[in-house]
Amino acid sequence: MAETKPTGTVLVAGAGISGIKAAIELAEAGYKVLLADASTQIGGILAKLDYQFPTDHCGMCRMLPMVGREYASQYCMRKSLFHENIEIMPFTEITSVQGDAGNYKVELLKKARLVDPAVCNEMGECIDVCPVEVADEFNHGLTMRKAIYQAVPHNTPKLLLIDKQACTRCGECVKVCTTNAINLDAQDEAETREVHSIILASGVKLYNTREFEDAKSYTVSPDVVSSLAFERMMSGSGTYKGDVIRRPSDGKPAKNIAWIQCMGSRNRRQKRDYCSSICCMFALKEAVLAKEHGGPDVDTTIFYMDMRTFGKGFQQYRDKAVEEHGVKLIRCRVQGVMLNPDGSLQMRYFDPDTNEFFVKDYDLVVMSTGQIPFETHKKWAELMNASLDSRGLIATEQYSKIKVAGKPGLFICGSLMGLTDVSEAMSSGIAAAGEATSFLTTLGVDTLKEEEIPEPTAREREMPKVAVAVCKCGEKPGAEGIDYEILSKELQGVGAVGEVHVIESICKADGEAATLDILAKTTCNRLLIGACQPLMYRQKLKNVARKAGFHSSLVEVFDLFGIARKGMIEPSTGDWTRRAAREVKADIEKLKYKPALYVKTLPINQTALVVGGGIGGMQAALSLAGKGVPVHLVEKDAHLGGYLGNHVEATVDGMAPMALANDMKLKVFENKNITVHLNSEVEKTVGNLGTFESKLRLKDSDERTYVHHGAVIMATGGHEGATTEYGYGSADSVLTQGALKKGLASGDIDVSGVENVVMIQCVGSRQKGGRPYCSRICCMWAIANALKIKEKNPEARVFILYRDVMSYGFNEQYYTKARAAGIIFMNYNLESKPQMEMVEGKPVVKFMDTVLNTEIELPADLLVLSTGVDPEESNHDLANAFGISLTEDGFLAEADSKWRPIEFQKVGLYLAGTAHSPMPLKSVIMQAEAAAHKAYTYLSGREVHTASVTSMVKDALCIRCQRCVNICPYGARSYNEVDKCITVDAAACQACGMCAVECQNNAAEVTGWSDKQLMAVIDAKLMDDLFSSTVE
């Protein structure tokens, strides 16, 4: 035996969604994760949000792992997180970090909660008796809470704690606590842990309207709230419990609501020359939701500077908000709010569309508050001994958003990179996990080895006999209302029940021994356990069962105390132990008919196919090859590099894509794990998950190559769009931004003599009939080119005609720089697009100036068109070859726009870069890294374990109508032409049960969800009712 290596351990500091995602990804890759958060709970900002666009509902559960879902046993992410490999440490601060790469010693300070969650029975009587009331920070001070409280209203377990500052130590809570969970003298505990790598995911401080001087002219009334507070006002668990939105000052329904954008951001005077990136979409979503909640008579207006809808689907959401929901957008920076005597809020603004001043009253004003990153960055830099860049942010490696400069093993993700939306937070979390995994593989540490307990033979052919074990919950007499005698007697009477046991506390060691003892002696062949928090113990109890020789799928756990709690809040129902017994009976019935479930293992080909040899594709290939995975890299052109790597020499933020691509090309060709297929396209792909076979066609020849692989990364990229507008093609002086960029770099375009340069943004973009989306990069390209022209010829006048300048994040500083350099920005809108005509061979641009309200004519020496980014046409063929779908715009459609941005619905296929949507270089590299990590964790398993709950076919009943094949949303069912039968790809099946309903002959069935089981459950639910007034 080789010596035992230490288990790779990673500290994730910050348990917002990016931290959680990084933690889950690392845990799934087999590493141990410490997930610490300074606040009292996990979930970060998202814990406060009930709704996220584009669906305007919550979807956090979709970030949970898709494979092995029955063992994840968790369904709602907002409640909490449960994972065997993740140790969650809320309310924990990192006080010092010693050591370096691969060998960190971290001092953690666990703050005293004063309530021991391991003992607390969560009945909440302590909250009722607490005499202290303070403002609840979770609801932004809009509601009150006690000194002993539950920090997040929807958390499970509730995790009560005492606010030390507010507590008067009156001791009332201690008196009523039946479990001695409260210790008012508990002290903070320091702990030292050793970790190999650290991921910082703390998010950044948000602008607080009460703290900053520049908010004074707005915060004149409690009815001026921040955007996060507004989120709590709409929430079902928030201020108004999901009722209509009211004014905090007097509780009147708010009918007229205004949003003011860029509060705290884009403000040079306050040294905050950046855009907070997410507030525009946040405000749009809130305005739409306010309309949905309050009805059509609610009026919503957003006052903005530029509506920055740069991400995938953002512009379409904006169009929908305006056209379908009637959200008003007014481009005006409102200078302040005034309080009317009747309590309403008055604002004066100028509407550039009508050229008029208005004075209007509003019930509620929401301030779209942004980020204040510097403080957080400074704190981390000091703690980690990392360096700050010129902007005051933690410096990262040149082309990486994730890797901290000069600190291997230290990574950042999420809003520390600048405020990110959910989708980017997800990608960054995965990418950070990927970078950490790459780092850990170089260290020679081990992954956690699962305790392999072989699955015993199921005695499912015997008559079903169920043993029921209910937990008394030891020292926690939380369920004191349960009469165990009655419960046992009731259950004993159920036909299928063989024996009923009451166990002291099943989660403790002696409880485990007692359970083992029962299982050893029992004559039953199925076991039902009633305990609290079934989510937390399910996996553990299943392992116990296996040890005792029980097939783990024939052991079920139900939430006894959940039923108890429900019973207690309904005093009218009287004897609810019997009611609880009836609920348990349904579980017994379901278990009785449950077949034993088996996990299948499918072989996997540990090779990856990367489609597209641009920077994203090369990055993904290099990352995978570096971890020892053989890669086939397919590029349709004669050389690698893609659009950026072959056409763009420099970007405005000092990056050199062509040099980077050349460097990467060398690495790719040198790497023995990478096979490059140039001039090749994927013609067809066959095979099941884990074992694909792709046919590659060599361009202009009959030659075909076959490659075998287990995973696919799609990195097909994009290219500059084409146009026929504004006389493009009619004269040399009308050109695209891309051509100008190339010409300026090579010197082919001489700007020394030019007088006027006019640039038109959004040519064919962000409009119906063209590209409905924003191409994200054109504004920065225009600014880069304009600055270059100014540099070469300061006398030249450069005009940029724009609709919204998309200089999000720290790109804002280049926008500021451009204006300082004398570049003139002029706004136009779709209704009055610029006109162009050729006068004596020179383009003349005519447009309405919204400030002067007059028509302006500009003769241009150069007319430069920002034509946006088009997806590759080959996406259509590839989508067909791989069985994936495209968005309306021709980009590849990811599994979920927010929560699974780099996966497809089909397992084993991932996407990166501009194939997803237009994005800047660093984001491309980040996504490629994330996709590579996803593919790596998938491929490194050697074999795919299918879920045990999958759909199956009863062949004798099947009439081969193939309706199930058509209805399956995952393409898991297919008709086998050779054997003339329906087959199920167990690894692709997600057990949604659509096929079972569709099948007319009951030939399709989901194991563990059979008709027989559900019919028995329906019976049990309707039998023996307490309200037997009408039946029997």
- Judged by the rule CB under 8 A, the positions of this chain that interact with other proteins are 50-51, 54-55, 57-59, 61-62, 75-76, 78-79, 124, 153-154, 156, 158, 235-237, 241-242, 562, 565-566, 569-570, 573, 579, 586, 905, 967, 969, 990-994, 996-997, 1006, 1009, 1011, 1014-1015, 1017-1019, 1021-1023, 1025-1027, 1029-1031
Report how far residue 922's alpha carbon sits from residue 810's, in angstroms, rounded to the nearest whole number. 13
Considering the complex, state which of residue 345 and residue 584 has its C-beta at the smaller distance from other proteins: 584
Q: What is the smallest separation between the CB atom of 316 and other proteins, expressed in angstroms?
A: 14
Q: What is the smallest separation between the CB atom of 83 and other proteins, expressed in angstroms?
A: 18
Q: What is the smallest separation between the CB atom of 239 and other proteins, expressed in angstroms?
A: 12
Q: What is the smallest separation between the CB atom of 235 and other proteins, expressed in angstroms?
A: 7
Report how far residue 176's alpha carbon sits from residue 160's, in angstroms, rounded to the nearest whole number. 15
Report how far residue 322's alpha carbon sits from residue 307's, in angstroms, rounded to the nearest whole number. 12
Radius of gyration of the chain (CA): 31
| 106 beta partners | 97, 193
Which one, of 265, 258, 304, lies nearest residue 281 by Cα?
A: 304
Considering the complex, state which of residue 234 and residue 878 has its C-beta at the smaller distance from other proteins: 234
Considering the complex, state which of residue 486 and residue 516 has its C-beta at the smaller distance from other proteins: 486
Considering the complex, state which of residue 852 and residue 1018 has its C-beta at the smaller distance from other proteins: 1018
Residue type, 781: W
| 34 beta partners | 11, 87
Considering the complex, state which of residue 595 and residue 859 has its C-beta at the smaller distance from other proteins: 595
CA distances to 265, 809, 813, 860 from 798, rounded to whole Å, are 26, 24, 18, 9
Q: What is the smallest separation between the CB atom of 997 and other proteins, expressed in angstroms?
A: 5
Report how far residue 786's alpha carbon sits from residue 792's, in angstroms, rounded to the nearest whole number. 10
Q: What would the DSSP string read from start to end of 731-767?
A: -TTEEEHHHHHHHHHHT-S--TT--EEEEE-STTBSS
Q: What is the smallest separation between the CB atom of 567 and other proteins, expressed in angstroms?
A: 9
Q: What is the smallest separation between the CB atom of 15 and other proteins, expressed in angstroms?
A: 19
Counting beta carbons within 10 angstroms of the beta carbon of residue 521, is it exposed (0 to 12), middle (13 to 18) or buried (19 or more)?
A: exposed
Considering the complex, state which of residue 242 and residue 406 has its C-beta at the smaller distance from other proteins: 242
Q: What is the smallest separation between the CB atom of 704 and other proteins, expressed in angstroms?
A: 34
673 Cβ contact list (under 8 Å, min separation 6) = 624, 625, 628, 629, 630, 631
Considering the complex, state which of residue 55 and residue 95 has its C-beta at the smaller distance from other proteins: 55
Q: What is the smallest separation between the CB atom of 950 and other proteins, expressed in angstroms?
A: 12
Identify the DSSP state of 386: P
b/e per residue 902-926 (b: at least 16 CB within 10 A): bbbbbbbbbbbbbbbbbbbbbbbbb
Considering the complex, state which of residue 6 and residue 969 has its C-beta at the smaller distance from other proteins: 969
Considering the complex, state which of residue 403 and residue 898 has its C-beta at the smaller distance from other proteins: 898
CA distances to 743, 781, 783, 860 from 863, rounded to whole Å, are 14, 15, 14, 6
Q: What is the smallest separation between the CB atom of 351 and other proteins, expressed in angstroms?
A: 34
Considering the complex, state which of residue 689 and residue 777 has its C-beta at the smaller distance from other proteins: 689
Q: What is the smallest separation between the CB atom of 517 and other proteins, expressed in angstroms?
A: 31
CA 753 to chain centroid: 51
Considering the complex, state which of residue 137 and residue 570 has its C-beta at the smaller distance from other proteins: 570
172 Cβ contact list (under 8 Å, min separation 6) = 126, 129, 130, 131
| 951 beta partners | 1006
Residue type, 180: N
- Is residue 469 within 8 A of residue 526, CB to CB? The reply is no
Give the max Cα distance, the chain: 101
Q: What is the smallest separation between the CB atom of 658 and other proteins, expressed in angstroms?
A: 41
Q: What is the smallest separation between the CB atom of 128 and other proteins, expressed in angstroms?
A: 11
Considering the complex, state which of residue 155 and residue 209 has its C-beta at the smaller distance from other proteins: 155
Within 10 angstroms of residue 514's Cβ, the number of other Cβ atoms is 19
- Is residue 113 within 8 A of residue 164, CB to CB? The reply is no
| 801 beta partners | 760, 826
Q: What is the smallest separation between the CB atom of 960 and other proteins, expressed in angstroms?
A: 21
Report how far residue 1000's alpha carbon sits from residue 961's, in angstroms, rounded to the nearest whole number. 9
Report how far residue 922's alpha carbon sits from residue 116's, in angstroms, rounded to the nearest whole number. 45
Considering the complex, state which of residue 582 and residue 632 has its C-beta at the smaller distance from other proteins: 582
Report how far residue 207's alpha carbon sits from residue 278's, in angstroms, rounded to the nearest whole number. 13
Report how far residue 346's alpha carbon sits from residue 350's, in angstroms, rounded to the nearest whole number. 14
Identify the H or E element spanning 680.
Answer: strand 680-688
Residue type, 801: L
Considering the complex, state which of residue 59 and residue 408 has its C-beta at the smaller distance from other proteins: 59
**Helices (DSSP H) in 638-691: which residue ranges?**
642-647, 657-670
SS3 label, residue 28: helix
- Is residue 84 within 8 A of residue 30, CB to CB? The reply is no
Considering the complex, state which of residue 237 and residue 733 has its C-beta at the smaller distance from other proteins: 237
Q: What is the smallest separation between the CB atom of 321 and other proteins, expressed in angstroms?
A: 15
Q: What is the smallest separation between the CB atom of 915 and other proteins, expressed in angstroms?
A: 21
Within 10 angstroms of residue 579's Cβ, the number of other Cβ atoms is 17
Q: What is the smallest separation between the CB atom of 1009 and other proteins, expressed in angstroms?
A: 7
- Is residue 40 within 8 A of residue 150, CB to CB? The reply is no
Considering the complex, state which of residue 457 and residue 1029 has its C-beta at the smaller distance from other proteins: 1029
Q: What is the smallest separation between the CB atom of 579 and other proteins, expressed in angstroms?
A: 7
Considering the complex, state which of residue 615 and residue 1003 has its C-beta at the smaller distance from other proteins: 1003
CA atoms within 13 A on the CB side of 1032: 7
Considering the complex, state which of residue 78 and residue 771 has its C-beta at the smaller distance from other proteins: 78
